Chain A
Amino acid sequence: MNAPLPRAAALAATERSDRDRRQAEVVAALAGVLPAHALLWHREDTVPYECDGLTAYREQPLVVALPETEAQVAAVLRVCHGLGVPVVARGSGTGLSGGALPHALGVTLSLAKFNRIVKLDPKARTAVVQCGVRNLAISEAAAPFGLFYAPDPSSQIACSIGGNVAENSGGVHCLKYGLTLHNVLAVRGYTAEGEPVTFGGSALDAPGLDLLALVIGSEGMLAVAFEVTVKLLPKPQVARCIMASFADVRHAGNAVAAIIAAGIIPAGLEMMDKPMTAAVEGFVHAGYDLDAAAILLCESDGTPAEVEHEMLRMAAVLQASGATRIEASESEAHRLRFWSGRKNAFPASGRISPDYMCMDSTIPRKRLADMLIAIGEMETKHGLRCVNVFHAGDGNLHPLILFDANEPDQLHRAEAFGAEILEVSIRMGGTVTGEHGVGVEKLSSMCVQFSPAERAQMFAIKAAFDPAGGLNPGKVIPSLARCAEYGRMHVKRGLLAFPELPRF
C-alpha cells in the first residue's frame, strides 16, 4: 500500500460550501432521472459507500445513485457528463485495491441491483448476465446443465461479474482455465457520455481492434459495463487434491517448477508458508502439517481415469522434489477440507492480528523461494510479521502484512513493507498486481513499474475512451506530480544487475 490520499474531512470551509453547492446542483439534476429513493446524499446514508474491500481508504461520495432500470443508468451517465461530474461505478464493493473508492466531488453509481441472469444457453455454453450478478450465482445457475463459469476469485460468493470485468479477476484455477479476459465474450454497456456500446460479441472475435481486451481490467475508467456474456465450461467429472509438506521453502519452490517442467498443468497449485499454515489451522482445524516450512496444494480435475493418472504423476514429482509428507484427498469432503484453510487465509489472518495488508504482486515462479526469504528479511527490517499464501502455479503472491492500525507508526511501517515487496517483485521481473488491480492502493508503485512515456500512453488511452475524463478519475495511472513526490525511480523490469546476489 502506498501513501494515503487526502481526506474529504480535511476540506477547508470555503471548499465545504462549494461542495454543498455542487451537491445541490447534482442532486437536483439526478432527481430528474431517478426516483427519490434511488438517490442518496445525506452522510448517514452514504457511509456504506465510503470504501470498498480496501477499508483503510475512505472518501465521502458527493451523491450515490442507485438506478433500477437500464435507461436510468444511461440517464445518470448523461447527466453527470453534462455537468462534468466524475462517476465511480460500483458493484458489490469487494475490491481490494480501492478501485471503487468514491470521488469527493463525484457520483458513486451503484449497479448492485442489476442481478438478473438474462439468458443461459446450455447449447452455446454461454450466459448473458447483468453486471450485478454474483460470480458464484453464474456457476449455480449453470450447474443443472453440467456447466460452470471458471474464474473463481476467493470473494466469489459476493463479488459481481461487473467488478470481475473491471479488475480482470483471477482465482485459484486460472493457470488451467484463464482469467476473466479468457472467459468473457462480450461486454455491453455505456460510454462515459451515456451512449450504448458493445465490446466483443457472440462470436469468438469481433471486427476491428480488440477493445474488449482493453476494457476488461480497466477498473471502470474506460466504460461502464451493464451486461456481460460469459463462456461456460463442462464441469470436470472429478477433482482431487494433493497436500504436500516441505521442510524447506526452496524445495517447495522447486517442486512448483518441477511440476510445470513435467508438462503438468494442475487445476490449482497453491503454496502456504509455515506461519500462514499455523494461522489457518487455528481457524479451520483441517489437519494441516504444522511442522512444514511450506505446504503445497496441488489439484487435478478431469475424468476419473485422467485424474488418477495425473495424481500419480504429481505425487511422483513432489516426492522427487523432497516432499516430507504427501496426502491425497480420498473424497470430495476431504478435498474441500484441504482447501478450507487456503480459502480462509484472509479471515484467519484477521484473527491473529488487529489489521493486515494484503499484497498481490506476481513474480516468475522460479523466484518464489527467493521472495519468501526476502520477505523474511523484510520482517526484521520493518519489525512486522508477514504470513504468506501464494497462487504458486502462476507466481501470484498474497503476502499478508500483520499490523495494528491503532499504532500510527505500524501503519506507516506496513506501507513501507508492502512497497518494498512490490519493488522487489518488479526487480524480479514481475508486476505490482496480479489480480486485485491498482485502484488507489498501488498508484505510487505504478511509478516504479512504468516509465513516464508508458504512463502518458495510458492516459492517452483513457482519453480515447473517455475524452472528458469523467469515469473513475484518479485511479490506476499516477500523475507525473505524484510520481515525482514518491521519488522512486522507474525500474527496468527484471534487469536487476547480478540478480543472484543476496540483497534483501
Chain B
Amino acid sequence: MLSVEALAERIREAASNGERLRIRGGGSKDFYGEAPAGTLLDTRSLIGAAEHEPTELVVTAPAGMLLTELETLLAETGQCLAFEPPRFDAQSTVGGMVAAGLSGPSRAQAGSVRDHVLGVVLLSGSGEQLHFGGRVIKNVAGYDVSRVIAGSLGTLGVIVEVSLKVLPRAESETTLCFDLKPQAALEQLHAWGAQPLPLDASAWWNGNLIVRLRGSEAAVNEARVSMGGEPIHASLAAPFWNDLRDQRDPFFVAAADAVAHQDATLWRMALPATAPLLGLAGDELIEWHGGQRWLATSLPAEAVRAAAVAAGGHATMFRTRTKSPGVFTPLTAPLRAIHARLKQAFDPKGVFNPGRLYPGL
C-alpha cells in the first residue's frame, strides 16, 4: 500500500527519470479513451473513511474508495450521487469516476459529474500535493480547477481525494413506457421538457420510449396522469435503469458483441437534444432527452463523426477495436494550443497518462 507521500515520491522519481505513469483505479474503464501507456500507478492504495455530512450535502472520499462503497454509505441517510455514474464493474473507484467524467441516465436533469465536484486534492506532475475548491457549495476563490479535473482522464494529475455535492434521493419515482417511433419520441420529449414536469431520465430504443419521473409524490402523481403511457412496475423499472446506467442492458450487450465479433464500433454522440435523427445505419439508443445517442455501427469513423459535428455535437468511439481514427473528436486549433499548454502547466514532464485523451497530449 502506497501512502500519498509515497505516491508523490513515485511521481517525482518518474519525472526525473523521464518515465511515464499510467494512473489506474479498479481498471473498469481501461477500454475508454486512447490506449493506456506507461508504468502502472495503482490508486487503490488511497483508501480511508469517507467524510459524509448529510446536512451539508457534501461527501469527501479518497480516490481509491470503491464507488459501490460510497453509494452504500450515502444510501444510509437517503442520499445519492444524482448524476448516476456508470459502474462498469464492481471495481470502479471514486477517483476513476471523476477522472472519466461519465454520467448516467439522470444527467440531462440532474447535471454531470463535473457539476457535482466541489473540490479535489491532487498530486501534480512534479509530485506536489494541491488542494482546489473545497467542501462548500458556493466557492469562487481562484480558478475552478477541481471541475476541470472531472473528465481529464488522468492527464493533469493524480486525484487523491474528492469532495462531491450529494442530494437526497427523490421522494417519489415512476417509470412510463410509450410506443413511439424515434422522431415522435424526440418531439414528445421536447414538448414535455418545456413544461414544469418532474421529467428525469429517458431512453428510446427499439420502438419504445421509457421515461422516468422523479420528484415529490404530488408532482410525480400529477405528471403520471397528464403524460399517459403505460406504467412499468418498480420491480422491472429499477433493474432496467440500473442496467442502462451500467451498460448491461440488451442494447449494450448486443453492441459489445458487435464490437467484438463484427468490427462494429459503439459510438457515444453528444448532440443538441433537438438535433434531428442523423439517419446513420446501425442500432441506436437515445438518452438524455435526445442529448446522448449511442450508435453501434460498422460505418466508417469519418462518416459518423462528420454527421455528429454537422449536427452541432461530437462523437466518441466509446467501445472499439480500432482506435486509429482517434477516439475523441479533434479540437479546434486554439483549443488544441490551450490543451497543450495546460498539460504542460500541470504535468511539465509529461508523466501522466500520455496520449490517453489525445495523441501527443
A364 touches B142 (CB 8 A): no
Give the residues from 101 to 160 in chain B that come closer than 8 angstroms, CB to CB, to chain A.
101, 107-108, 111-112, 114-115, 124, 128-132, 134-145, 147-148, 150-152, 155-156
| Cα distance A365–B55 in the bound complex, in angstroms | 8
Interface flag for A460 (CB, 8 Å): yes
A305 touches B218 (CB 8 A): yes
- In the complex, chain A residues whose CB is within 8 Å of the CB of B341: 463-465, 467
- In the complex, chain B residues whose CB is within 8 Å of the CB of A181: 115, 144, 147
A457 touches B124 (CB 8 A): yes
Contact check: which of A124, A210, A431 meets B139 at CB < 8 Å?
A: A431
CB distance from A260 to the nearest CB of B (A): 5
CB distance from B219 to the nearest CB of A (A): 4
Contact check: which of A197, A394, A461 meets B143 at CB < 8 Å?
A: A461
Give the residues from 443 to 496 in chain A that come closer than 8 angstroms, CB to CB, to chain B.
446, 449-451, 453-454, 457-458, 460-465, 467, 476-477, 493-494
Contact check: which of A204, A208, A438 meets B112 at CB < 8 Å?
A: A204
- In the complex, chain A residues whose CB is within 8 Å of the CB of B142: 438, 446, 449-450, 454, 458, 476-477
CB distance from B81 to the nearest CB of A (A): 15
| Cα distance A170–B168 in the bound complex, in angstroms | 21
A124 touches B272 (CB 8 A): yes
Assuming the contacts A261-B55, A305-B219, asked whether A429 and B134 have C-beta atoms less than 8 A apart, the reply is yes
Contact check: which of A211, A302, A394, A457 meets B130 at CB < 8 Å?
A: A457
| Cα distance A437–B141 in the bound complex, in angstroms | 6
- In the complex, chain B residues whose CB is within 8 Å of the CB of A464: 338, 341-342, 344-345
| Cα distance A236–B147 in the bound complex, in angstroms | 29
A203 touches B270 (CB 8 A): yes
Pick from B124, B142, B312 the residue with the most CB of A within 10 Å.
Answer: B142
| Cα distance A239–B108 in the bound complex, in angstroms | 24
The closest CB in chain A to the CB of B326 belongs to: A207
Against B, the Cβ 8 Å flags (1 = close, 0 = not) of A168-197 are 101000110011011000000001000111
Contact check: which of B56, B167, B331, B332 meets A365 at CB < 8 Å?
A: B56
Interface flag for B288 (CB, 8 Å): yes
Contact check: which of B114, B129, B141, B195 meets A210 at CB < 8 Å?
A: B114
CB distance from B313 to the nearest CB of A (A): 4
- In the complex, chain A residues whose CB is within 8 Å of the CB of B358: 208
The closest CB in chain B to the CB of A305 belongs to: B218
Pick from A179, A204, A264, A303 the residue with the most CB of B within 10 Å.
Answer: A204
- In the complex, chain B residues whose CB is within 8 Å of the CB of A305: 218-219, 221-222
Against A, the Cβ 8 Å flags (1 = close, 0 = not) of B326-352 are 001111101100110110111000000
Interface flag for B171 (CB, 8 Å): yes
B222 touches A463 (CB 8 A): no
A454 touches B132 (CB 8 A): yes
- In the complex, chain B residues whose CB is within 8 Å of the CB of A32: none
Interface flag for B266 (CB, 8 Å): no
Interface flag for B314 (CB, 8 Å): yes
- In the complex, chain B residues whose CB is within 8 Å of the CB of A309: 216-218
| Cα distance A234–B215 in the bound complex, in angstroms | 15
Assuming the contacts A214-B148, A306-B215, asked whether A396 and B138 have C-beta atoms less than 8 A apart, the reply is yes
The closest CB in chain B to the CB of A476 belongs to: B142
| Cα distance A179–B357 in the bound complex, in angstroms | 28
Q: Give the A interface residue count (CB, 8 A).
A: 97
Against A, the Cβ 8 Å flags (1 = close, 0 = not) of B261-276 are 0000000001111100
Assuming the contacts A203-B271, A204-B107, A434-B138, asked whether A310 and B190 have C-beta atoms less than 8 A apart, the reply is no
B108 touches A204 (CB 8 A): yes
Interface flag for B174 (CB, 8 Å): no
- In the complex, chain B residues whose CB is within 8 Å of the CB of A234: 193-197
Assuming the contacts A204-B270, A211-B338, A237-B196, asked whether A433 and B137 have C-beta atoms less than 8 A apart, the reply is no
- In the complex, chain B residues whose CB is within 8 Å of the CB of A362: 136-139
Pick from A197, A265, A453, A461 the residue with the most CB of B within 10 Å.
Answer: A461
Interface size class of B (residues with CB under 8 A): 35 or more
B357 touches A208 (CB 8 A): yes
Contact check: which of A174, A197, A258, A429 meets B135 at CB < 8 Å?
A: A429
Pick from A122, A446, A493 the residue with the most CB of B within 10 Å.
Answer: A493
B314 touches A302 (CB 8 A): no
CB distance from B360 to the nearest CB of A (A): 13
- In the complex, chain A residues whose CB is within 8 Å of the CB of B115: 178, 181-182
A260 touches B57 (CB 8 A): yes
Contact check: which of B129, B167, B291, B345 meets A461 at CB < 8 Å?
A: B345
- In the complex, chain B residues whose CB is within 8 Å of the CB of A442: 141
The closest CB in chain B to the CB of A436 belongs to: B140
Against B, the Cβ 8 Å flags (1 = close, 0 = not) of A36-78 are 0000000000000000000000000000000000000000000
B314 touches A203 (CB 8 A): yes
A303 touches B196 (CB 8 A): yes
B138 touches A179 (CB 8 A): yes
Interface flag for B78 (CB, 8 Å): yes
The closest CB in chain B to the CB of A190 belongs to: B334
A458 touches B346 (CB 8 A): no
CB distance from A317 to the nearest CB of B (A): 12
- In the complex, chain B residues whose CB is within 8 Å of the CB of A206: 270, 314
Interface flag for B202 (CB, 8 Å): no
B107 touches A449 (CB 8 A): no
| Cα distance A422–B219 in the bound complex, in angstroms | 41
- In the complex, chain B residues whose CB is within 8 Å of the CB of A450: 131, 141-142
Assuming the contacts A213-B148, A310-B216, asked whether A147 and B194 have C-beta atoms less than 8 A apart, the reply is yes
Interface flag for B69 (CB, 8 Å): no
Interface flag for A235 (CB, 8 Å): yes
| Cα distance A366–B58 in the bound complex, in angstroms | 12
CB distance from A497 to the nearest CB of B (A): 17
Assuming the contacts A123-B194, A434-B136, asked whether A209 and B357 have C-beta atoms less than 8 A apart, the reply is yes
| Cα distance A477–B274 in the bound complex, in angstroms | 41
| Cα distance A271–B226 in the bound complex, in angstroms | 37
- In the complex, chain A residues whose CB is within 8 Å of the CB of B195: 146, 234
| Cα distance A179–B292 in the bound complex, in angstroms | 23
Contact check: which of B135, B136, B150, B167 meets A265 at CB < 8 Å?
A: B167
| Cα distance A454–B334 in the bound complex, in angstroms | 26
Contact check: which of B78, B169, B339, B345 meets A457 at CB < 8 Å?
A: B345
| Cα distance A436–B114 in the bound complex, in angstroms | 21
Interface flag for A217 (CB, 8 Å): yes
CB distance from A420 to the nearest CB of B (A): 17
CB distance from A59 to the nearest CB of B (A): 22
| Cα distance A257–B77 in the bound complex, in angstroms | 14
- In the complex, chain B residues whose CB is within 8 Å of the CB of A208: 328, 331, 335, 339, 357-358
- In the complex, chain B residues whose CB is within 8 Å of the CB of A257: 55
- In the complex, chain A residues whose CB is within 8 Å of the CB of B143: 214, 217-218, 222, 458, 461-462, 476
Interface positions of B (Cβ within 8 A of A): 53-58, 78, 101, 107-108, 111-112, 114-115, 124, 128-132, 134-145, 147-148, 150-152, 155-156, 167-169, 171, 190, 193-197, 215-219, 221-222, 270-274, 288, 291-292, 312-314, 316, 328-332, 334-335, 338-339, 341-342, 344-346, 357-358
6 chain-A/chain-B pairs, Cβ below 8 angstroms: A204-B288, A207-B331, A211-B335, A305-B222, A394-B138, A493-B131
Interface positions of A (Cβ within 8 A of B): 121-125, 145-147, 167-168, 170, 174-175, 178-179, 181-182, 191, 195-199, 201-211, 213-214, 216-218, 222, 234-237, 257-258, 260-261, 263-265, 302-303, 305-306, 308-310, 362-366, 391, 394-396, 429-438, 442, 446, 449-451, 453-454, 457-458, 460-465, 467, 476-477, 493-494
What 3 pairs between A and B have smallest CB-CB spacing? A460-B345, A263-B168, A434-B138
Known: A203-B313, A431-B140, A438-B142. 7 other contacts (CB 8 A): A146-B195, A203-B314, A206-B314, A211-B342, A217-B143, A302-B215, A364-B135
